[in-house]
Structures are given as C-alpha cells and as structure tokens.
Structure 1
Amino acid sequence: MTTQNTESRMTAIVCHAPEDYRVEQVTKPRAGRNELVIRIAACGICASDCKCYTGAKMFWGGSSPWVKAPVIPGHEFFGYVEEAGEGAAEHFGVQVGDRVIAEQIVPCGKCRYCKSGQYWMCEVHNIFGFQREVADGGMAEYMRIPPTALVHKIPLGVSLEDAAIIEPLSCAIHTVNRGDVQLDDVVVIAGAGPLGLMMTQVAHLKTPKKLVVIDLIDERLELAKQYGADVVINPTKDNALDVIKSLTDGYGCDVYIETTGAPIGVTQGLDLIRKLGRFVEFSVFGADATVDWSIIGDRKELDVRGAHLGPYCYPIAIDLLARGLVTSKGIVTHGFSLEEWDEAIKVANSTDSIKVLLKPAGEH
C-alpha cells in the first residue's frame, strides 16, 4: 500500500559543523521501492550527539570521520509508518499507521560481518544520523527507512517515553549480556546516565549477588536504588575501592561495566575489578584514556570485552518495556519541539537532565 503526500517540505535539525546545527525547512523524503517514510513521534538526544555537537575528534577528526555533514542527526527515534513504497509492506512486514523503530545501524549486507550474522560490526557501518549516504536521522518531522534497515513493530501499549528509549535500552541489554552476569557475581556499573540507569534495570533482572552503581550525582544514585542497585557509591564522598573490597572479601568485583565516558572510569575499573574479572567497555569517549596496560595481562589477566550497539536486542527491549520490567520513568526528564533545538541541546549537554527527547509531532 502506498499513500500519497501533498506536503513537500518539513522541519528538521541539520548538522553543518560542530556547534552549527540549524532548524531548517528541507525536502520531505519519499519512499522508493522497499522503503518506508515514518512520521517521527520522538527522537532522543544521545550522549554521542552531545559529543558530536561539541566537536569531539572521534566524530570529526581523522581520515574517516563519523560525521559527514550536512546531515540530519538522530538515531534514538521511533514513529508511525506514513508511506510504504512499492513492496515495502511485505519487505518489512508492516502497514501504514504501524508504530515502528529501525535499528540504529543500516547494515550493508555484503561484508564478512553482515554475511556471518554479525551485522552490528558492518564494515561500511552506516548509522542513522551521521552520514546521509543511506539515510538521514530522526531529528525531523519525517525520515526515510532504506531497504536494508532492520525494522521492528512497537505495541500500542508502550508509552511514548518508553518507546523512545528502545534504542539505548537495546544497547544496555547487549552490554549487560557481554558481562555474562552470574548469580554469585558482584557487578559494578560505573556511570548513572541514561545508559547506566538502563543497564542497572537490566542487570537487576539478572539477579547478581550484589549490584553496585557509581556516579557523582546523588539524585541519579537514588534512581539507581529504585531500579535495583544494592549499593551506590559517590566517589566524592566514598572510597570506592574500600567499599568494593568490603563486599568481596578484598578481591574486587567480578564484572565492571564502564559507561561514564570519562577516562577516570577506565582507571577506576582496573583498580576495582578482581583478577580474572570481566571488564565491559561501552562508552564513547571525548578524550584518550591512558592506563597501565600491563594490569590487563601481567597482573590480573582480565577478560576485556567491548559492547557496541544493540544487536538482536530490540525485540527483547520492546518486550521488557511492554511487560513493565524496565521503565523510562525517571530517565526521560525533558521534551522539546524541533524549533526549541538550541535549548534542547543545552539541557541535554548538562547535568540538569538525564534523557532529553525531541518531539516533532508535539505528542505527549
């Protein structure tokens, strides 16, 4: 089924350069064969969006920068199918009007990783909102979903705020799974931002022996307690190493999940983790982390694991939200229109917020 749209222009945030993001009127996308156009209900502002906005070098520097401006940013989006191009309804298994989300990566389907099922490590690595070779992102009224995108339907019972955190929740699930949490583990999550708080909820569902959350903001630590943390640590007030040793007979934690985005989170983790422990690195950093690398091998023989995106976790995230086992309540703190972009990015890039949403359709 294909619907016809009479409007040809839409409002969007367009990234031109660091700190040069503009509210513009741009051409509304149309759906080609096996493509969708969705009307955006909400799009979250991610920590990586904030780092991109301020010009962090991993996004703009080097021979292969992530950001290829001009581009409409935004990868934490969901919306309603507005238009289905020829064959798209069958291709994606959706109909016009369905609430849907597409995974943040658009796999090429041809590289060795895609062919082996490891699509989240696609060599081409097109991600919505960073380069428009495949498609622009979700900080707009509408966006195009290309044929190779991975699309999932969202039940109507899931609230707007919950639906808006499906992408980061999927990342949180993948990260916790990478930690291989066992029932007798002491698990430390460093960082109680949006991802850390979602990881706390997911890790709590794994029922480890002790779940510890570390952050500098007491209000976020209180939220972590509500989400299932047994112990919270504010390093400005507590000696994290002493606390962790007191919980582990002096050995250190079994699993350390780094999601602070600050280099100190790495060095802290190498101190807190026990020998033969599992160190899971999720963060995108704005500066280099310098550590004594010999700790990993010669002194502790650590199992260091990266966690990237949320592969195979979107259906799990949707199910957990639908069953009320994970919530956005307390995490989603602010909502803005596209026209309020300047204020939205300012709030998102501060400790006054946890998760900020752009709501192009003005939905609540």
Structure 2
Amino acid sequence: MSNLPKTMKALVAYGPGDYRLETEHPVPVCGPDDIIIKTEGCGVCVSDVKCYHGAGRYWGSETEKAWVEPPFIPGHEFLGFVAEIGENVKGFEIGDRITADQILPCGECRFCKSGRYWMCQPHKMFGYQNTNDGGMAEYVRYPKTAVISRVPKELPREKALLIEPYACSKHAVDRAGVTNEDILVIAGAGTLGLGMITYARMKNPAKLVVVDMIDERLEKAKDFGADIVINPSKEDAIAKIMELTDGYGCDIYIEATGHPSSVKQGLAMVRKLGTFVEFGVFAQETSVDWSVIGDGKELNVLGSHISPYCYPFVIEHMTDGSLKTDGLIKRTFPIEKWEEAFEYASGKYGDFKVAITFD
C-alpha cells in the first residue's frame, strides 16, 4: 500500500503553447521495478522553451516526424529524494537523493546492448513522452532502465540542478580529445559553454579561448578558467585566433551556440587536420562550403549528444568544488510561476539558468 498522496501539482503539455498547471494530477504509480522520487527541483532547459513554442524537431514538420507524445510532463534536468521503491528494486532506500540521465534507454536495441545507451534507437527521454514524464511535477517515476546516479545530500540544490547540463558539457569536451598542447576555442558561454570551460580547464590546454557576443558571459568565462575571451561583435575573432597561432588556426573548435554564423566562424578559424565538435542545437538549417572540411583542411568533424557515463564524474567534482558553478542559478520559481520561469529561461533577462523548485 502506497503512502504517497493520490494527486500532485504538475505542469502538463497538451500541445504547442498549450501547457497547463494541474493541481490534482495523478501521482505516478510505483511498479515492482520502479522508483518514485519526490522532486527537489527541475532546471528549465532552452529545449523545454523551444518545445513549448512548437519547434518542429519536437512536434513534427514537413521534414520531421513528431517526437513528443502528449500529454506529458516536461523537464529533464531534475533530481529528488526516493519516496517509494518497487519490490524488485535493490540498493536504494527511502530518502536517498538521486538523479538520472535524461535518456531512458530501452536496453534491447543494438546501441543499448553494446553499451552505447545514449544513442538508444527508440530514444525516449524524460519530459517529452507520456510514458516518461519529466521533473516539472512533485513526483516522478524512474523505470527499471533509468540510468540512476546518487547525489550527496551536502551538495546545494542550486549546484545539483546543474548536473545534467554539466554532464552534457563534459561529453562534448571528451569528444574533442583535448590535450595540454591544444589551443581550444569554445564558442558560446551560456550554461553549457561554461560547463565546458570549467571542465576543459581541468585538461590544461595550452590556451583556452572563449567566444561570445555578450560581455557578461565572457566575464563569467574568465572566472571559470578562460585564458582569452573574444566578443566578435567588437573585434575580428578569426583574425585574433590566426594572430595567436602564427596563422595556422586553433587545434579544436567546440560549437556551443547553435547559430549558423558560429559554424562558419569555426570552419574558418580551425587549423588543417584540426577537430570541430558540433554541440549546439539549431533553429534553422546551416549552409557551409563542405569542401573546406574535406579538400581544404581534412578536418575531424564530430557530433556530441547528451551525457553518457558523465554523471558520476560531474557529481563528484561539483561536490569537491573543482567544477565551478557559482552564480549560474540566481533565480528559481515555484511551479505556479512556470510561465515566468520559461520566460526567464529564454535568456532575455541575462540569466544563465533558471529552475522550478519544490519545497
């Protein structure tokens, strides 16, 4: 017999622009292989905002099949305390503080069976399908295949809410293969870019250069470990990199803005035989001269998707302070003010990251 309440507050997505706060939404039922958490908080990702506004990559378009399955509870950057445990679950107790990778792997496809669960073929994620409700609710169900990580209780909530984005940041830097001989350029100093910067600093590259259009973000980038910052609206970023590298170009360029101009900038400033890592998600198609990639420079062009095997490292080093997080979450909102939270999450007021929190 469950000791949990029957209903809860939850934000429910029914369609583009049709998100509703429900005060008597059913609390998820705990199956024999499930864990139910009482949600501590949930970060509002830019992808949540894009989904709310009807982006085609979520709801479908002429060229894309719909990926979301309404009605669903959004949110994938969440954590909480174990509130109920299924009879088959071992190793967890009521009150444990846990989080999980945003992807819910099927465990059966060729990617899952080979350990590459983050590319799971069905590719279901928390916060986008009605079978995998997310963290913008008082309670969330973690099914059997959820990739769960423990979170120390001494890690402050405003830091713990950055675990998911920082894990994505770590994967992008790992894809780049940064060494202490590399001149590394990271384009974009939002929350994810800053996560890359503080982690890349641990790799001790020869020079860590950050490019962004907003001076406040560049100041934060310096605090987090950037050696050089460049605002391309005020100076020629490509020329500065060429000057820094005797005309060769940077060794590695990580694109974390999702803006077409950043792709062109990166292809221009990365050296021959260099590495280009694409992390950003784009609102529109990007056209480039692909001959630069092949015949021009013979580049290594790599993608980076979510955060496989990254949570434990991020949690450990966030807790010991070696991954910087100060000042990224300055504003949180109760679920009743979700519309305001989504507005601030767009970045229009200068926030790096906002979150919805539960008492």
**TM-score normalised by length of structure 2:** 0.97
- The residue identity in structure 2 corresponding to 1:165 is L
Q: Report % sequence identity.
A: 50
Could you tell me how far 1:121 is from its partner in structure 2? 0.3
| CA distance in structure 2 between the aligned counterparts of 1:251 and 1:330, rounded to whole angstroms | 36
> Counterpart of 1:342?
339
- The residue identity in structure 2 corresponding to 1:129 is G
> Counterpart of 1:146?
143
Tell me the secondary structure at the aligned position of residue 49 of structure 2.
helix
Q: 5 Å matches for 1:80-159?
A: 80-88=81-89, 90=90, 93-133=91-131, 135-159=132-156
Tell me the secondary structure at the aligned position of residue 127 of structure 1.
coil
> Counterpart of 1:78?
79
Could you tell me how far 1:104 is from its partner in structure 2? 0.5
| CA distance in structure 1 between the aligned counterparts of 2:45 and 2:4, rounded to whole angstroms | 32
- The residue identity in structure 2 corresponding to 1:122 is C
| CA distance in structure 2 between the aligned counterparts of 1:65 and 1:317, rounded to whole angstroms | 32
| CA distance in structure 2 between the aligned counterparts of 1:314 and 1:111, rounded to whole angstroms | 22
| CA distance in structure 1 between the aligned counterparts of 2:167 and 2:284, rounded to whole angstroms | 25
- Is 1:326 the counterpart of 2:323? The answer is yes
Q: 5 Å matches for 1:210-359?
A: 210-352=207-349, 353-359=351-357
Tell me the secondary structure at the aligned position of residue 320 of structure 1.
helix
**TM-score normalised by length of structure 1:** 0.95
CA shift digits 1:69-99 (9 cap, x unpaired):
11101000000001111122x1xx2111000
- The residue identity in structure 2 corresponding to 1:67 is V
The answer to whether the Cα contact below 8 Å between 1:162 and 1:327 also exists between their aligned partners in 2 is: no
The answer to whether the Cα contact below 8 Å between 1:197 and 1:331 also exists between their aligned partners in 2 is: no
Q: 2:169 aligns with which of 167, 172, 180?
A: 172
| CA distance in structure 2 between the aligned counterparts of 1:291 and 1:55, rounded to whole angstroms | 27
For structure 2, the residue ranges without an aligned partner over 5 or more in a row are: none
Could you tell me how far 1:350 is from its partner in structure 2? 2.7
| CA distance in structure 2 between the aligned counterparts of 1:6 and 1:347, rounded to whole angstroms | 32
Could you tell me how far 1:284 is from its partner in structure 2? 1.4
Once superposed, which parts of structure 1, at least 4 consecutive aligned residues long, lie more than 2 Å away?
3-6
Could you tell me how far 1:7 is from its partner in structure 2? 1.6
Could you tell me how far 1:6 is from its partner in structure 2? 4.7
CA shift digits 1:182-206 (9 cap, x unpaired):
1110101101111001100001110
Give the CA RMSD over aligned residues.
1.1
Could you tell me how far 1:213 is from its partner in structure 2? 0.7
- The residue identity in structure 2 corresponding to 1:87 is N
- The residue identity in structure 2 corresponding to 1:176 is V
Aligned length: 355
Tell me the secondary structure at the aligned position of residue 299 of structure 1.
coil
Could you tell me how far 1:15 is from its partner in structure 2? 1.2
For structure 1, the residue ranges without an aligned partner over 5 or more in a row are: none
- The residue identity in structure 1 corresponding to 2:86 is G
The answer to whether the Cα contact below 8 Å between 1:58 and 1:286 also exists between their aligned partners in 2 is: no
Could you tell me how far 1:4 is from its partner in structure 2? 2.7
